[in-house]
Homo-oligomer: A and B are copies of this chain.
């Protein structure tokens, strides 16, 4: 996918998501869209109390939430504002325990079909090179 293929800017995606998923991306939500490119996205999660396990490490479900949200962002950038796109399959590998601090998810769309979009997310703790989790998910796009 080339840059011309970007259907929504970072600002447009952020505005759209604050409306559609206020709990996740709105003020007070843990997630922030940092960048949207041609089939790519970067999303930051600032973990709150409910995302943490004893010891201050981010929980698995919180990482799954981040992966799912970040992949949705990448898909919006690739195909435009489809509020009704839904996750049909998500597969995640947990690779190491994250250090305390923000998590960053970098996503890439692997296929943008008419009915199905597949994308991957690589999650790191900020400032660390090594992956803490890697996720691939499929979204189903409803017919117009």
The interface of chain A, by Cβ under 8 A from chain B, is 21, 23, 50, 53, 60-61, 64-65, 68, 86-97, 110-111, 113, 115-116, 118, 120, 122, 130-131, 134, 136, 138, 140
Tell me the complex Cα distance, A113–B89, Å. Answer: 14
Residue of B nearest to A90 (CB): B92
A-B contact list, 7 entries, CB within 8 Å: A60-B90, A86-B97, A89-B93, A90-B94, A95-B118, A96-B111, A136-B136
Residue of B nearest to A122 (CB): B110
Q: Which 10 A-B pairs have the closest CB atoms?
A: A61-B65, A91-B91, A95-B111, A64-B64, A93-B118, A60-B87, A110-B134, A89-B93, A89-B89, A90-B92
Cβ contact of A61, chosen from B64, B96, B116, cutoff 8 A = B64
Minimal beta-carbon separation of A104 from chain B (angstroms): 16
Tell me the complex Cα distance, A90–B59, Å. Answer: 14
Tell me the complex Cα distance, A43–B21, Å. Answer: 27
B89 touches A92 (CB 8 A): yes
Contacts of A94 in B (CB 8 A): 86-90
Contacts of A97 in B (CB 8 A): 86
Tell me the complex Cα distance, A92–B91, Å. Answer: 6
